[in-house]
Structure 1
């Protein structure tokens, strides 16, 4: 019987309105890194925003990568578990190996305008069924066991199916 293997993406937006300590540290450290890294692309101090740098300075898109390095230690604190997404029992259950850091907006003069996105990509999952607005999924493991442990969760904003593959 064919199985659908999916990868989910959770997009976590972090800005100055976040009150969770982890989010605040990520916000502050990524802002400090943006200010430092943007100096290379703004040596004449003509621009104050990330958007202005992107529009006017060749290579400024590298700031996504350069600033993203400042939060690696925070991601390791998550122990490969995607934050904020809970199953129907209130447990964090989605694991990730890959993520993408993105500068959404920033201004070197105002931390309040600094906004980032962390896109977490789940490890492969088996899509068992859809029940109303809920997905029934299982961790993907090559196994011959009859019993499969599952998680039921409601789709929420900023969670989507990133990829799908049919096997078998």
Structure 2
């Protein structure tokens, strides 16, 4: 029987309304790094916002990558597990391999306008079934197994199937 192997994407948006301490560290440190890194692209101090820099300064799209350096230590604290996504037993279970940091909005003069996203890409999962609004998945392995441990979790906002591959 063919298996469907999927990779999920969870988009975690962090802004001034965040209350979680880990999120606050990401928020504050990415803002400080944005202010510092944007100076290179704004040497004449003509622009205040990220959008103005992107529209007017060639190469400023590199700020996504440059600012991401400020948060990589916090991502290591997650030990490879995507935050906020719980299975139906209340456990964090979804491992990630890659992430992409994104500045959504920012203003060097107003931290309240700072908004970022971290897109987490899961390790490959076998998609066994869909039960109502829940996915039944297991970790993908190359070796055949008689029994696999599964996780059942509810599909929620900001989680989507990033890619799908049919095997066998």
Quickly name the TM-score band, shorter chain normalised.
over 0.9
Task: Tell me the alpha carbon deviations over residues 56-102 of structure 1, each in whole angstroms, 9 at most, x when there is no partner.
Answer: 00001000000011100000000000000000000000000100000
1:58 and 2:61 are equivalent in the alignment: no
1:8 and 2:29 are equivalent in the alignment: no
Alignment correspondent of 1:83: 83
Aligned-partner Cα distance in 2 for 1:132–1:140: 22
Aligned-partner Cα distance in 2 for 1:32–1:145: 48
Q: Could you tell me how far 1:131 is from its partner in structure 2?
A: 0.5
Alignment correspondent of 1:29: 29
Aligned length, in residue pairs: 168
Aligned-partner Cα distance in 2 for 1:138–1:81: 15
Q: State the secondary structure of the residue aligned to 1:23.
A: helix
TM-score by length of 1: 0.99
Task: Tell me the alpha carbon deviations over residues 113-139 of structure 1, each in whole angstroms, 9 at most, x when there is no partner.
Answer: 000000000000000000010000010
Alignment correspondent of 1:121: 121
Aligned-partner Cα distance in 1 for 2:138–2:95: 12
Alignment correspondent of 2:102: 102
Q: Unpaired segments of 5 or more residues in structure 2?
A: none
Alpha-carbon RMSD: 0.5
Q: Could you tell me how far 1:143 is from its partner in structure 2?
A: 2.3
Aligned-partner Cα distance in 1 for 2:159–2:148: 23
Aligned-partner Cα distance in 2 for 1:143–1:132: 29
Aligned-partner Cα distance in 2 for 1:102–1:79: 21
Q: Could you tell me how far 1:144 is from its partner in structure 2?
A: 2.3
